[in-house]
Amino acid sequence: MAEQPRLDMARSQVFGEVAELYDAARPGYADALAEEVLAYAELGDRTAVEIGAGTGKATLPFAALGTPLLCIEPDVRMAEVLRRNTAGFPRVRVQTGRFEDWQPDGRRFGLVYAATSWHWVAPERRWDLVHDALAPGGAVALFWNPHGTRDPRLLAALAEVDRRHGLRQTPHSASASDYGQTPGDWADVLEWPEEQCRRDGRFTDLRAVRYRQERYYDTERYLGLLASVSAYRVLPPERLERTLADTAEVLDAHGGGIAMDQLTDLFLARVR
């Protein structure tokens, strides 16, 4: 699988503009995911490192299971919300900065994980950085939560709005029926990490898991979700307003919301 072009770094810096909206609108991950990852990692009392923790959508399920966590978040505004959300978990520490600039300082960790953030890490360095942070046998867990629209008529109507406003790869641009049983079968823009990990050669016991659940967003909540997505955040304000208004018009004409399949696709590997 060919390496995909790295996403524009400017897009990785826009989430902090709407940190509170991001926290309120973004969905979490499959309920069973944290337990699956921890069972694989056999972490014990060792600390886990989270790359690009955001406001804590994936942090809280691990923290609730008692996991010692070091959360690395590049945006100070997102980190502020993250600290507030994890205030009740004394084993969670938050460090502001880019994963590429973070120094383990000789420490070796039992788990490094990234929740919808791996694609923001420099592709030419990320496997080296993860390997250098992990103890022998330590685990890496990478996961995303793509969506698929269930109603074909709504999908077509939203596709016309996206085309008119020059948007591609929006949360609703795939059909729920497009997804099969194979984790990563959506990865035509963001490379699924398995092949690159195999080529690296320093990791073993590669596994992939898919979870699926149904979600329904009413118009207001779905617009909030879209407004937290980088493809929308980089639009000029007037264009963003028009795009969301046109999307709302379509959603309201189709029952006032959108029914979706949310997948959680998980990739696991461990240091040899």
What is the per-residue pLDDT across 186-230, written as a single tens digit (0 to 9) for each? 866 568 999 999 999 999 999 999 999 999 999 999 999 999 998
pLDDT at position 18 is 80
C-alpha–C-alpha distance, residues 42 and 137, integer Å? 9
Classify strands 69-73 and 48-51 as parallel, antiparallel or unpaired.
parallel
Q: Kindly provide the residue ranges of all beta strands, DSSP E only, lying in the chain, ordered along the sequence.
A: 48-51, 69-73, 92-96, 109-115, 134-144, 147-149, 203-218, 257-271
Between 59 and 184, the more confident residue is 59
39-58 average pLDDT score: 96
From CA 73, how far away is CA 255, in angstroms rounded? 38
When pLDDT is cut at 50, 70 and 90, the band that residue 107 belongs to is: very high
CA distance 231 to 216: 21
How much is the pTM?
A: 0.90
C-alpha triplet 41, 46, 52: angle, nearest 5°: 75
Please give, one letter per residue, the 3-state secondary structure of 173-198.
CCEHHHCCCCCCCCCCCCCCCHHHHH
Of 173, 162, 22, the C-alpha closest to 85 is 22
- Quick one: pLDDT at residue 257? 98
* Mean pLDDT value across the chain: 92
What pLDDT is stored for residue 226 in this prediction? 96
Q: What percent of the chain has pLDDT over 70?
A: 93
Q: What is the pLDDT of residue 6?
A: 38
The structural domains of the chain, ordered by start, are 9-149+179-216+261-271 (3.40.50.150)
